Structure 1
Amino acid sequence: MDHLPSPAFRLGANNYGKAGVRLVRVERDGAEHVIRDLTVHTELSGDLAATHLTGDNAGVLPTDTQKNTVYALARDRIGPIESFAERLARHFVDRTGSIDTARIAIEERTWSRFGPHSFSRGEGGEARTAEAVYGGEHTRITAGIRDLLLLNTTDSEFQGFAVDEHTTLQPTEDRILATAVDASWRYSHAEGVDFDKAFAAAADALLGAFRDTYSRSLQQTLYAIGERVLSAVPEAAEVRLSLPNKHHYLFDLEPFGLDNPGVVFQAGDRPYGLIEGTIARADE
């Protein structure tokens, strides 16, 4: 028996797509090969009420088709992942009548070369990211980096903070500052941007700000990173940052008759502080 939608309810915002499409492309131009290692996520929305309310799938482009499209469009080239994400988004919207908006998110992992066609990659590590959202006219492009592990062994303190009856944390004038940066920057426009060059400039700026900033709080470091990235990438309108505090506690060696002159630490896992923020240009 067919289900009949009740007039007491309505369909809200909805989308569908294919998550975790694993794509490896070997670029064989010349004696030295290049590996591109991507994970692609597609998300489509539009006139999809019929499939939800009556099961009429005439407007549904199967998620398997979306997966196949990722591989097919990668056949000739990938290029910067920002551009590849935009190509995919435009393909789905411009060729599928029921779809009015496509969101494509991509993560790229890097392989290290140790020969003309030999590569290594440890598990984990940072990933370059990109997202394209296309609604038929304009494309919004966001790029970034995820899981970038950074650590300063000094030039960081944390003191002068608020104290109440539940406070046990002691102020420190010298601590290890460690984090796993998730950063994304939104481009004010997509036309004419050299995405590879912009990404390299943003990554260098991020590392430089973390290295050069004497940190009195992770919040201060976050803001310094955002300022440096926006200064280095004029096409970027804003930067969003998420910085978990990877705690390192000075281990007490006194029970063993030993001092600890800031050399032995216990790395904490959970719970951890999470500092997040957005830095935008004043005229945005």
Structure 2
Amino acid sequence: MSESARPAVLGQNQYGKAETRVVRITRDGAVHHLKDLSVSVALSGRMEEVHLRGSNTHVLTTDTTKNTVFAFAKQHGIASAEEFGILLARHFVSSQSAISTARIRIEEYAWERVDAPGCGTARHSFVRSGQETRTAQITFDGERLEIVAGLKGLVVLNSTGSEFHGYIKDRYTTLKETTDRVLATEVNARWRYGRTDADWDACYRGTRELLLHAFAETYSYSLQQTLYAMGSRVIGQRPEVEEIRLSLPNKHHFLVDLAPFGLKNDNEVYYVADRPYGLIEATVLREGAEPGIPVDLTNL
């Protein structure tokens, strides 16, 4: 038999659901604890029938693996990424005779509590650890010097203290009103200084802190309201800042429907949808501020 005539054979294979984003909130009275994971499940075993003949007899659907992640988050909590992964891997192998190996890959996203003067160490406000990037834009037209500073990628979350209702409803509206939701966003901000000499590091730290404090301390009825509270806090307490532009994508957290599994989801288990997303943008200016050199503050 020639080399080209040799029959094809099935090699190593696996299947599963990749990057299931699950957020588990444990509500210890007024103090909330947050676990944020991306879980990828890969299963392998006796899968020749589905590959060679299209028979799904031994196939546990990838949608089922996703649902198992959510259900386990509710039933067992998430003590650690490792322990959660062990529970899942053992479950898939022990519950399905056709599955001989389960590989669980987990990324955990770390959050820190916001330390805000108005509420001490916030009990339900968090900032994603070590994610943001500091930015600066310097413009000189031969006479005037202008400094625009900023940050991008500062991810924050309130696990309660946010409502959304009373909005326009038409024949295409499906969003349900809520009086208790997770409010999460990625803060992208640029602010223009009204002076050309300052302790820039201190200015940056102070502005960043004010943005975080306002987010944590504002009881929110809309992300627009929160945006204005953040911008006006900076204008009110940083006299060197003349205007600030904020771009806040709404990082939607939706409650998982656990009823099909006989479980009640009491604002504990969420899935994160990254697209499409609401995008809220506005500029907050100091009243009577002198206009600066024409600078694009919108390209955040």
TM-score normalised by the chain length of structure 1: 0.56
Distance in 1, matches of 2:226 and 2:268, equals: 24
Q: Which residue of structure 2 lines up, in the alignment, with residue 240 of structure 1? A: 245
Supply the distance in 2 between the matched residues of 1:197 and 1:177 (Cα, whole angstroms).
28
Aligned pairs, number: 162
Q: Is the contact made by 1:156 and 1:217 (CA closer than 8 Å) also made in structure 2? A: yes
Letter in 2 for 1:184: R
Report whether the alignment pairs 1:174 with 2:193.
no
**Residues of 1 paired with 2:266 and 2:166: CA distance?**
23
1:265 aligns with 2:241: no
Aligned to 2:191: 185
Give the equivalent residue in structure 2 for 1:163: 169
Amino acid at match of 1:229: V
AA of the residue aligned to 1:153: S
The percentage of aligned residue pairs carrying the same residue is 52
Q: For residues 123 and 234 of structure 1, do their structure 2 counterparts lie closer, same or farther at Cα, with a shift above 3 Å needed?
A: closer
Separation of aligned partners in 2, 1:135 and 1:227: 29
Match for residue 151 of structure 1? 157
1:142 and 2:148 equivalent? Answer: yes
- Does residue 195 of structure 1 match 2:204? no
| 2:261 equivalent to 1:251 | no
Structure-1 separation of matches of 2:133 and 2:227: 19
Q: CA deviation at 1:232?
A: 2.4
| Compared CA separation, residues 123 and 204, structure 1 to 2 (3 A) | closer
| In structure 2, C-alpha distance between the alignment counterparts of 1:123 and 1:255, rounded to whole Å | 35
Write out per-residue CA displacement over residues 113-156 of structure 1, whole angstroms, 9 at most, x where no aligned residue: xxxxxxxxx99820111100111111111011110000000000
Aligned counterpart, 2:65: none
Structure 2 counterparts to residues 1-284 of structure 1, below 5 A: 125-190=131-196, 192-284=197-289
Q: 1:180 is paired with a residue of what secondary structure?
A: strand
Distance in 1 between the 2:212 and 2:129 partners?
A: 22
- After TM superposition, give the deviation of residue 277 of structure 1 in Å: 0.2
- Residue 211 of structure 1: SS of its match in structure 2? helix
Q: Secondary structure at the match of 2:283?
A: strand
Measured against aligned partners, the alpha-carbon deviations of 1:83-141 in whole angstroms (never above 9, x if no partner) come to xxxxxxxxxxxxxxxxxxxxxxxxxxxxxxxxxxxxxxx99820111100111111111
Shift of 1:269: 1.1
- Separation in 1 of the partners of 2:174 and 2:267? 21
SS at match of 1:143: strand
Distance 1:158 1:279 in 2: 23
Shift of residue 189, structure 1, vs aligned partner: 2.1
Q: Quick one: distance in 2 between partners of 1:132 and 1:279?
A: 20
Q: Is the 8 A contact 1:130 1:143 kept in 2?
A: yes
CA gap 1:198/1:151 in 2 versus in 1, 3 angstroms: same
| 1:267 shift after superposition | 0.6
Q: Is there any run of 5+ residues in structure 2 with no aligned partner, and where?
A: 1-127, 290-300
Over the aligned positions, Cα root-mean-square deviation in angstroms equals 1.6
Q: Report the Cα distance in structure 2 between the residues aligned to 1:269 and 1:248, rounded to whole angstroms.
A: 9
Cα separation, 2, equivalents of 1:176 and 1:251? 13
How far did residue 173 of structure 1 move? 0.4
Return the structure number with greater relative CO, CA threshold 8 A, min gap 6: 2
CA contact (8 A) 1:201 1:232 kept: no
Question: SS of 1:181's equivalent?
Answer: strand
